[in-house]
Chain A
Amino acid sequence: MRLTFRHWLSLAIIAFYTVGCVSLPAAVRDQFEAAAAADNHFVADDAVDQ
């Protein structure tokens, strides 16, 4: 099969995401959820941006 430009583009996109993305385990990803305001020393009220 002859590789076309679209094939190369698809491979490049796959390679970019393979190289560029850090796959976090769920336990680590969970740590990046903000706590409620009562347990959060970094908000003045309930306005936690998600």
Chain B
Amino acid sequence: MSKIRHGGFLALLGALVAGCAGAPDLAMFETVEWHETPDAAVAIDALPLRSGDIIVTEVDTAMSFMMALMADRYAPFVHAGVIVVDDGEPYVYDAFATVWPLLGRAPTRAMSGKIRRVPLARYLKRPVVAAIARAPDATRAAAVADFARQAYRDGLPFDSYFALETADAVYCTEFVAQALSNAGVTLPGPARRSRNRSLNVAFDWLGIETSGFWLAGDLIAPLQPVVRFSRTLSPAAIDARFALKAELHRRFTDEQALGNVFRWTGTGPRIRDHIVALYDDAVALAAAGAPDSAITELVAEHLGPGPEPTARLAERATSAPTPSPR
């Protein structure tokens, strides 16, 4: 059975699950990969958490692979939130939306949501990989946590159109970027929107006019790594997953069709079978301890040589994206 679940828009965006409180049971995870524990950590059921920590996650859906192609560069993970310890219990504050009955509309027109607060244990049930990282000092971490609490109290709405520089609505990574920037953490900045012709037909239908996207992996790049989790993947398999997504992104040059990677099922995109098979083989190889060169050979065997390594770089513009009008 494939390790990639094929959820559609509804499966990705509409999941509302029953809750449970408290910290996660670490025995349930295949991978709990610790980095050197930073100072001033507060141990909660063996998790050295601190309010203001950032959590980024990777989900096991076709939409996760499509989101990896939406910008002109790749960074791992697709979702982000802020960890806040309230009354001794860890919670994740994140921007989240639900898709309501579509009635023939584009999903972006049928989405609504706002900043929510979810117990960390519940939050960690769905992602295939999660990582926690920490702001450089306690003062900035506290500012991140305060920003998240205030946005939650204000009911800051979800931005279905992923517009940059809008103060009245945010999407998941934009919310965390604002929290970190507000606290004085310098971030790499949003990535430019992909110029892929096929993807932009879909953007036009969805009404997405943004010039760029905040990438979840960029949000933790300037922070101190704390821990990386996976319920199902070994550390090597996690690296293989992200390496494969990066390779798919490299091959998805401006003239590539979405249909080269996905097919439409009626309820959402589905990754083509031969790419799912490649993913399964790559993860299995990595889990067995194969070197990176073996994975590279496997990809070339399954997908052919692909574009020249410099082709993707030549397509990129060098300037930063500008805010888009709403």
Contacts and interface: CB of A to CB of B under 8 A. Distances in A.
Do A and B share a complex? yes
A18 interface: yes
- Size band of the A side of the interface? 20 to 34
A31 B304 contact: no
A32 interface: yes
Contact of A41 (B10, B103, B267, B306): B306
Interface in A7-47: 18-25, 27-35, 39-45, 47
A31 B201 contact: yes
B259 interface: yes
A35 B296 CA distance: 23
A50 B256 contact: no
Interface stretch (B32-40, B86-94, B159-167, B270-278): B270-278
A31 B198 contact: yes
Given A31-B258, A41-B256, A43-B304, A22 B267 contact: yes
Contacts of B267: 20-22
B212 interface: no
Given A41-B307, A49-B272, A33 B256 contact: no
Which of A23, A27, A31 is the most central at the interface, judged by chain B CB atoms within 10 Å of its CB?
A31
B242 interface: no
A28 B273 contact: no
A45 B304 contact: yes
A29 to B, nearest CB: 6
Contacts of A42: 248, 251, 256, 260-261, 272, 274-275, 303
A50 to B, nearest CB: 7
Contact of B303 (A19, A28, A35, A44): A44
Contacts of B274: 42-43, 47, 49
A22 B201 contact: no
A25 B205 contact: yes
Contacts of B263: 32, 34, 49-50
Q: Tell me whether chain A's interface is mostly helix, strand or loop, or mixed.
A: loop
B302 interface: yes
Given A24-B264, A31-B259, A32-B264, A19 B304 contact: no
B291 interface: no
A41 B104 contact: no
A22 B7 CA distance: 13
B303 A18 contact: no
B107 A22 contact: yes
B288 interface: no
Contact of A35 (B10, B259, B302, B304): B259
Contacts of A31: 198-199, 201-202, 257-259
Contacts of B103: 18
A25 B201 CA distance: 10
A43 B260 contact: yes
Which of A24, A34, A41, A47 is the most central at the interface, judged by chain B CB atoms within 10 Å of its CB?
A41
A27 B205 contact: yes
Contacts of B202: 28, 31
B259 A44 contact: no
Interface in B263-293: 263-264, 266-269, 272-275
A44 B107 CA distance: 34
B106 to A, nearest CB: 8
B20 interface: no
Given A22-B266, A34-B272, A42-B256, 5 more contacts: A19-B10, A22-B268, A24-B264, A47-B274, A49-B263
Return the 4 tightest CB-CB contacts between A and B, nearest first: A41-B251, A44-B304, A32-B264, A33-B259
